[in-house]
Amino acid sequence: MYHRIWTFSNFLLIIGSIIYIWFFRPHDSILIVISQFSAQIAMILFIFNVNMYFIFLLIRKTKQRKVKIRLATFSRYFMKWHIKIAITATLLIIGHSWINLFKIGPILGYGHIKMLMGYTSFIFLLVTLFAGYLRHKKASGFRKKFHRIIAMTFTVIFLIHMLIPI
């Protein structure tokens, strides 16, 4: 049952964001379209990484041995990409933030809620990366929890940032 909700949420997030960004937020400036495109790709990559939580959860919870083994193999393969995905997405977000700070900031005002939630998302991204780094070096119970909670909080905050209209 839960895996249905999980699949549906992923589908909704990815298809929903594509529809929202490309049909409801059109721009003429090519730079701004590049910034939107970078943010779109980055957010899909972040969602990929966040999904590791649900994969590990399913591995712990499932009673079917076959499913357990299949998911474990899958997660081992995916974790090889986890850090590369995080770094690529972060570079895309740096481009996104840069363009918006210089192109949209002056028009919208640096105190606009869209901008404020952008800075907040960025700070949470840095903390997530740091927590991931700590966990990678030495995985203690606290570090595992810290990376997981911060990653989830970051996701909620960037989704709010994305949905705020300007």
Give residues in contact with ligand HEM (CB under 6 A).
21, 25, 27, 32, 36, 39-40, 42-43, 46, 49-50, 52-53, 56, 79, 82-83, 86, 93, 96-97, 100-101, 104, 114-115, 118-119, 121-122, 125, 128-129, 132-133, 135-136, 144, 147-148, 151, 158, 161-162, 166
Supply 116's token pair.
């404020």
Nearest to 98 by CA among 31, 155, 45: 31
117 in Cβ contact with 163 (< 8 Å): no
CB 95 → ligand HEM: shortest distance, Å?
10
159 in Cβ contact with 46 (< 8 Å): no
Cα dihedral 58, 61, 63, 65 in deg (nearest 10): 50
CB 6 → ligand HEM: shortest distance, Å?
13
CB 4 → ligand HEM: shortest distance, Å?
20
Query: CB-wise, 71 or 118, nearer to ligand HEM?
Result: 118
Supply 97's token pair.
């933030």
CB 105 → ligand HEM: shortest distance, Å?
7
Query: CB-wise, 71 or 161, nearer to ligand HEM?
Result: 161
Supply 69's token pair.
């083994």
